[in-house]
Structures are given as structure tokens and as C-alpha cells.
Structure 1
Amino acid sequence: MENLSEDLDNSTLNCTINHNIHQMLSPVIYILVFVIGLPANCLSLYYAYLQVKVKNELGIYLFNLTVADLLYIFSLPFWIQYVLQHDNWTYDEFLCKICGILLYENIYISVAFLCCISIDRYLAVVYPFRFHQCRTMKAATVVSIFIWTKEILSSWIIFRHSEVTKDAESHAICFEHYPIKNWEHNINFYRFVAGFLFPFFLLLFSYYGILRVVRKSHGTQTKKKIQIKRLVSSTISIFLVCFGPYHVLMLIRSLFESSCDFAARIFNIYHISLLLTTFNCVADPILYCFSSENTYQDFAKIVNTCVKCLRCGQIETTESYPMSTPETAKKIRDQTDLDPK
């Protein structure tokens, strides 16, 4: 192994933690997310491009959200190999930092763009005319550049520290320290407040305002109301299920983890919560599906096509002309009767 830092944390070196959950659960989840998430996000990227093409600012946020998911998905093969080798990183430390940044920063880039989507929908529904200048392609582009710049700059803190350490079995552990190091505490507190708690209240405020206006609106069609409610419920669900448990346990670790014993007790549940964040890459395409009625219908058509393909054995029956309706068949018979030939 090349370029591994010799400055190993003694507490990590002396910690003996059972990593069996990584061999049992993590590879299954990573492979599942990779197999489902890659085509789903490629499809979402295409639909986001179509939205951008028709000058819909929401497409800018969805496009960036999908790009963030794809970048993380491309790092999954490295994590799959890592966990299958009993948490032993066989590449250099630079690649460990890149994969770790893609893993963790994908969380906060996703959170940021989920907030952008919620604010965009809030302004569109509650103040459709007052803040129109905030809902332009130019504004969405500027906000997206700011988010990416902020997350890239915050990654510099990670590059300043060693991210490959050795455990009691001399395995090279990538991006994890047991117990967590002193410099990580402040970063974790910042991530919990600015990366989870504040965005969560922002989502609640935005969608509460949206639902309140939609309920009082008598001019809004029922179909449109259902679409808006789908977007609200899917965004809140993705946020709570994928990001909630991880941030709560991250806060607990930062407050109470000071020994290997505590790290060992919380290890399994913490990594299960970390795996939940991975499902964000599969959930975001569902969010995109619910954000647009046309996209929802397109996804429904794709699902129906897949179902028909799976039932192809049942289609090949004596009904050889499924495209022919009774009206069409009657017209054919009438034309046959009138034809002198």
C-alpha cells in the first residue's frame, strides 16, 4: 500500500471492534444501490436535462442532485471491495479521501438541493408573482455553483488530516476513527446544526406554507394538489429516513464517545444509519418522479412496460391482435363487406 500516513492514532490502533456487519450487510446494500441507483439516476439525469431544456429552473436543482448521487455511486465499487476485504483499504490514502468525501459530502449536497427544491416550490405556490426573479435559470445556476463551491471548500479540512489508520488487526481503516478524534467534534456539531437541523426546519416551514395555501385554494385542480402533496411527502420522507438516524447517532458519538468500549457498542447501529444515507441515491429519482406530472406518467409507462415484459409468457395466447379494439374490428369487417374484391 502506497502513501499511507505514518501518524497513526494510538486509540484506533488499540481498539478491537467487531466489523462483521460490514461483511454481512454492507456489500448487499452497496451492490443493491449500485445496480438500481445507476440506471435510475441516469434516467433522472435525462429527464432533468429535458426540464433544463424547456427553461424550468427546477430542472437545474434536480440535475445537480442527480450528479451528486452519480458521483457517489461511482465510488461504491471501491467501498464494496473495502468491506469484502474485512475493512482493509488497499489503495493509497488520496483515493480513500476522495471516496470518503463523495460518501459524506453527497449527504449535504443532497440536503442542500432538497432545500432548494422546497424553497422553489414554496415561492411558486405561496408567492407566485412577488419573487419571480428568484425562480429563474440564472438564479438556480448561481445557487448551484455556491453549493458546490461551499462543499468543495469544506472538504479541504478533510485533506489536511490523515484518513487511513490501522486497527488492532493491522487493517488499514479508511475514513473512520475509534474513538472519533478531537478535531472531528466541532465538524460533527456543525454538520448536525447546519447540515441537518436547519434544513429540516426549513423544509417543514416551506412545505407547511405550501400545504396551507393548497388547502385553501379553490382554483387549484385536485390532480395538481395531489402532485404537490406527493412532492411534499416524498421530500420529507427521504430527508427523515435517509438522513435523520445518521445525524442523531453522529451527535451521540460526538457527545459521548471517548473510549473504544463506547465506539464498539454503537458501531453496528451507527453503520446501519450510515447505510440508510446510501438509499438516498435510489430515493432521489423517486422524488424527481413525483416532482412533475409528466415525469410521473413517463415513469408509470416504463413500469407498465416492464410488467408487460415480465408477463410476456401470458401475452402469447390465442388473442393475437391485442391492438385491435372492437370498434376497429367492426370497421375492418365493414370495409371487407364493401370491397368488391
Structure 2
Amino acid sequence: MTNNSTECTINHSIHQTLSPTIYILVFVVGLPANCLSLYYGYLQIRAKNELGIYLCNLTIADLFYIFSLPFWLQYVLQHDNWTYDADLCKICGILLYENIYISVGFLCCISIDRYLAVVHPFRFYQFRTIKAAVVVSIIIWGKEILMSWFVFKHADISKDADSHTICFEHYPIKDWEHNINYYRFFAGFLFPFFLLLFSYCGILRVVRKSHGTQKKTKIQIKRLVSSTVLIFLVCFGPYHILLVIRSLFENNCKFAEKIFNIYHFSLLLTSFNCVADPVLYCFSNETTYQNFVKMRDSGLTCLRCLRTKTQVSYQLKTPETLRKKHFFVYVYDFCNFIPIILTPCNNQ
């Protein structure tokens, strides 16, 4: 592999200020949130719900990206100087960029699945099975793996004017990147966005006409759909628009220097998708809330058992002390964000 050199002098200030903050925030919040989301997807699969297949795949794609964040954090803190192996640079770059399109693919699957369940509950039942979801998931992963292999073969590291090793980027962009960027915009963003919009508009139309659905439920569905479309646009829209702009106009260092900060800001916006996915598709769901309530109740039951055993053991050692004092266990309710006080059994 040969290293390409460029004389572009890029101001990387955004990578020393904003980028580390965003990477740390997404890692700290996204890792536990997606782990819980993965568990929720597993529960859905156990319940023979094909939606669980899509949620698990979506979460796995987000986790792959989250696991690459420590490498990107060190990279930006070293003033965009990659100090690891060149192949590791390619892998982290692929995890960063291709995660966008794997996520988009499964977001579309979720929207279509919901559309078929609400608008055509009996007509296309064969497409709403575990087997069909597995087949669709294999197709999505296979398509992105092929795209990743193409990028892996063509991508290389380059040097900037300060002799820093730039990972997975070129200033200005290479000729082979133009067609890739157009493909990403039309097939990876624009078409999925219209598919998402069509699905959720159909859902809203049916829910609005439904006389058996409560007004509160209609408002909740409308908010969920609006939030999903808005987050899709905010997380992925600016990045893909700038991809096209770069492909059309970036043919010299001057333009690359001007667009660098806004382009990388748009790239940071895509990171928030890893946090938004669990919130939208798992934790905003009433069923999920009930599942976590059950988990909480199970945990409280275990605590009561442990407390009872501890009291019995303590009575054998110092009965006088237990006759004088009561013990209280404080447990934090993660669903309602309030402390729960468990009162011990009366001393005998």
C-alpha cells in the first residue's frame, strides 16, 4: 500500500474541541442503552416477534460503531494523526461509515414492518415472520459487507501538510469516491427516507381514521412517528447533503479547507443515531416499560430475600441490637426516578 501525500493545510480545531466531547458522550450513554436494547430485542425474539430480529441487528450495528469510538477519540486528540496499523484504520473507518447504512436499512425494515402490521395486518403476513426477517437481515448485512470490501480495497491512508497520517479521508476527495458518494446519497439516504416517510404516513392515516383508538394513544403514535422522521433527517440529512456537495465541488485544497469543519460536524450528528435508536424503538414502548417494571420487581424480591436471610443471621449473633433498630433498604426506581423504601419484616 502506498501513502498519498497532500499539500492541503486543514484546520482540525473541531477535532480538539467538539469531537472528543461527542465521542465520550455517545460512548458513555450509547453503550449501556444499546446493551439494554439488545436484551429487549432478545425478549422480542423469544416472543416470536420478527421486530426483535431487526432491533437486534440495529443494536449490533450501533455497538460495532461504539466499540470503534476509543480509537477515533485518540485519533482526534492527536490532531488527526493515526498511530495504529493501516488496516485497523480501514476497519474503524468502515465501522464508522457503513454503520450509517446498516442502521438506515434496519430502520426501514422496522418502519415497513409496522406499516404492514397496521395498514395490511392480514394481507402480507408471510413477510412478517421470523424467517423473513432473518432473510432480509442477511441481505442487508451482505450488501454492506460487499460495499465495505470495495472500500477496503481502494481506501488508503494519506499524509497532510504537517506529515500527519490521515485515516480514511482524502483532501481533496479521490476520483473513485465520487460515485460512492452519489450511491450513498440516493440509495443510502434519499430512497430509504421516502420509504420511511411513506410507511409512517400510511400508519398515521390509518390511526387517524380508527374510532377504536384512544386519543391519548393517537397522540403518542403521532409523536413517535414525528420523532423518528425528525431524528432520521437530523442525524443523516446534513451529512449526505454535504457528501454530494463535496463530490460536485471539491476539486482543490481551498474548497476542502472551507468545508472541513461543517462536514465533520455533520458526521458527528450521525453518531447520535446510536443513542436515539434505543430511546425511540425500545424505551418509549409501553411494553418495554412493563418489562423493566417486571425486572425491577424481580430485583426487589431478591433484595427482600437477601434482607430476610441477613436479619436471621444477624439475630443469631446480636439479638439485642435487632430489637432496638429497624433496617430500611433504599432502592432506586430506574423507571420513575424515585427512591423506593422497603420496610423490613417485624422482629419476632
Normalised-by-shorter TM-score class: 0.7 to 0.9
1:262 partnered with 2:290: no
1:219 partnered with 2:209: no
User: Structure 1 stretches of 5 or more lacking a match?
Assistant: 316-320, 325-331, 333-341
1:77 partnered with 2:70: yes
The Cα offsets for residues 43-69 of structure 1, whole Å up to 9 and x where unpaired, read as: 111111001110011111011000000
> What letter matches 1:293 in structure 2?
E
Distance in 1 separating the partners of 2:290 and 2:234: 25
The Cα offsets for residues 263-318 of structure 1, whole Å up to 9 and x where unpaired, read as: 1001001000000000111011112236632114556998x824987x76xx9xxx
- Verify the 8 A CA contact 2:239 2:266 in the aligned structure 1: yes
Match of 1:68 in 2: 61
Match of 1:167 in 2: 160
Give the fraction of aligned pairs with identical amino acids, expressed as a percent: 75
Distance in 1 separating the partners of 2:147 and 2:155: 16
- Of 82, 104, 124, the residue aligned with 1:131 is 124
Match of 1:327 in 2: none
> What letter matches 2:333 in structure 1?
T
- TM-score (normalised: structure 2): 0.84
- Verify the 8 A CA contact 1:228 1:291 in the aligned structure 2: no
Match of 2:333 in 1: 305
- TM-score (normalised: structure 1): 0.85
Deviation at 1:234, TM superposition (A): 2.7
User: Structure 2 stretches of 5 or more lacking a match?
Assistant: 297-331
- Structure 1 residues 75 and 276 mapped into 2: Cα distance closer, same or farther (>3 Å)? same
Instruction: Give secondary structure in 2 for the equivalent of 1:155.
Output: helix
- Structure 1 residues 145 and 291 mapped into 2: Cα distance closer, same or farther (>3 Å)? farther
> What letter matches 1:254 in structure 2?
S
Match of 1:228 in 2: 221
Distance in 1 separating the partners of 2:283 and 2:212: 21
Match of 2:2 in 1: 6
> What letter matches 1:155 in structure 2?
S
Match of 2:173 in 1: 180
1:15 partnered with 2:8: yes
Equivalent residues in 2 for 1:180-199, closer than 5 Å: 180-199=173-192
Distance in 2 separating the partners of 1:77 and 1:308: 32
- Of 127, 133, 143, the residue aligned with 1:140 is 133
- Structure 1 residues 252 and 299 mapped into 2: Cα distance closer, same or farther (>3 Å)? farther
Q: How many residue pairs are counted as aligned between the two chains? A: 309
- Structure 1 residues 135 and 261 mapped into 2: Cα distance closer, same or farther (>3 Å)? same
Match of 1:50 in 2: 43
- Verify the 8 A CA contact 1:165 1:173 in the aligned structure 2: yes
Equivalent residues in 2 for 1:87-102, closer than 5 Å: 87-102=80-95
- Verify the 8 A CA contact 2:189 2:236 in the aligned structure 1: yes
1:249 partnered with 2:211: no
Instruction: Give secondary structure in 1 for the equivalent of 2:166.
Output: strand
